Amino acid sequence: MILEFDLGNTRAKWRIIDDFSTIQDRGVFLFEEKNLKDKVAEIVTGADKVRLASVRSTDIEREIEAICSSKGVVFFTAKTLKQCAGVVNAYEDPTKMGVDRWLAMVAGFNVAKKPCCVIDCGSAITVDFINPQGLHQGGYIVPGFNTLKKSLFHSTERVYFSLDRQLDSCLPGRDTQQAVNHGSLSMVVSWLNSLCEKFRDDYGEQSGLYLTGGDAELVVNHLSYKAECYPDLVMEGLAYCEQARLEGEV
């Protein structure tokens, strides 16, 4: 069995897959949870291999590697590279790009080997474009929904709304809560629609639009363009990157 980790800014996603990439188990935990090391060790038990994608400090990465070593489990951690699995990074210094973003790009292009726009709707919203030859054309990073709402909440007085209420519509709000939630969603969706329109004009209707991240399901329902959600796109990229390294392509 293969255990894959996607360690984000606030939470960790994990899944266990078999040799045919069929998901056998999965879960999520927050980094604030007590006995985090014991929890990771418990999840690792029974795995033959661990693949890791992490934007956290290297401390937790070393801890997971040490746990794997103590249990005789093969360990692979992904790094952002200049080139991997048919994708060429546009960054002059690839180490400046988060590995989660890189893995999503690699997986997105390898889904169908065609031009694609990869949108990750998490703590930040990232958008990246890849041409038919696998060349990364650059991208964008903007605040995610929670960050947008928090910035408004902390920058205004006597404007009351809950940060916990969910976004669900782009219609004009009829109270402050709706105005903030619907306004945030409308702003992001309008921006993404404009990027998708330009992308489709450049690369045609058959190009891929792929969404991942915690808010992907919310956003995809409001886009004007057909897009596909891949909740595990970052973890999907791990296998491509490991295989490329094993084959000496990186």
CB 35 within 8 A of CB 27: no
Helix axes 58-71, 36-44, angle to 10 degrees: 40
Concerning whether 201 is annotated as a catalytic residue, the answer is no
CA atoms of 140 and 121, how far apart (whole Å):
12
- The contacts of residue 157 (CB under 8 Å, 6+ apart) are none
Contact 98, 145 (CB under 8 A): no
Question: Which listed residue (6, 38, 100, 128) is catalytic?
Answer: 100
Q: Locate 55 and state its tokens.
A: 């934007």
CA angle 226, 230, 231 (to 5 degrees): 130
Catalytic residues: 100
